[in-house]
Amino acid sequence: MRVLTLVLMLLATSAAAFERVPQRLLKELAPPVLDGDGCARSTDEIHKEIVDGKLVGCGAQANGQRSGYWVYETNGGFVMHGWYRDGERIGTWLALTTAGNLVGVWRHDAASAEHGVSYGLEKDGRLAWKQIHVHGQRVFNCEGWEWPC
């Protein structure tokens, strides 16, 4: 069973998982080429986090902190893709289902503060929520029940 779970995780984080993600988001994210484990290919050593025999995250580390491109599974079963610098999220982050469907986009500035438009999607692709931040300050918030956004 553990082998099957690992295989499914690896398939979900492969480059093919990005087929349903809009190209403009991939340009913002600038994901590197992924290896067979779904981890970024890098000249740096890739740290792989394994829990109960299952690969749950991988990416580069510097000084014991996440630094570089990371892919990891959340407790909610989503697969996160994005960049870290000194243990802090930067740039555009994507959340995908294990089937590769886009469910969320978060944006951070170079100082790791939320910055820009972030949003979540329902299973059918409808907008669930949207927020706009300017260097960590939320200036707009719209939840799915507050239509129109």
pLDDT attached to residue 54: 86
pLDDT of residue 147: 59
Sheet with 102-108, strands from edge to edge, namely: 46-51, 54-62, 65-73, 79-85, 88-96, 102-108, 116-121, 127-134, 137-143
Q: Does the structure show a pLDDT above 50 at 2?
A: no
φ and ψ at residue 90, rounded to 5 degrees: -135, 160
In a domain, 81, yes or no: yes
3-state secondary structure of 109: coil
Is 95 among the domain residues?
Answer: yes
Report if residue 112 sits inside a domain: yes
Residue 5 clears pLDDT 60, i.e. is over it? no
Supply the pLDDT for residue 146. 60
Residue at 149 is within a domain:
no
pLDDT of residue 99: 85
Look up the domain containing 17 and give its range. 2-143
Residue 47 inside a domain? The answer is yes
At 11, the pLDDT band (50, 70, 90 cuts) reads very low
Reference 120, options 80, 71, 83; nearest CA is 80
Eight-state DSSP code of residue 54:
E
Averaged pLDDT for residues 70-96: 93
**Residues 108 and 93 sit within 8 Å (Cβ to Cβ):** yes
Which pLDDT band, with edges at 50, 70 and 90, does 141 fall under?
A: very high
| CA atoms within 13 Å, Cβ hemisphere of 123 | 2
Q: Are 144 and 128 in contact (CB under 8 A)?
A: yes
CATH number at residue 91: 3.90.930
pLDDT at 91: 94
Residue 44 covered by a domain: yes
Asked if residue 148 belongs to a domain, the reply is no
Q: What is the pLDDT of residue 78?
A: 92
Burial of 18 (0-12, 13-18, 19+ CB in 10 A): buried
Q: What total number of domains does the chain contain?
A: 1
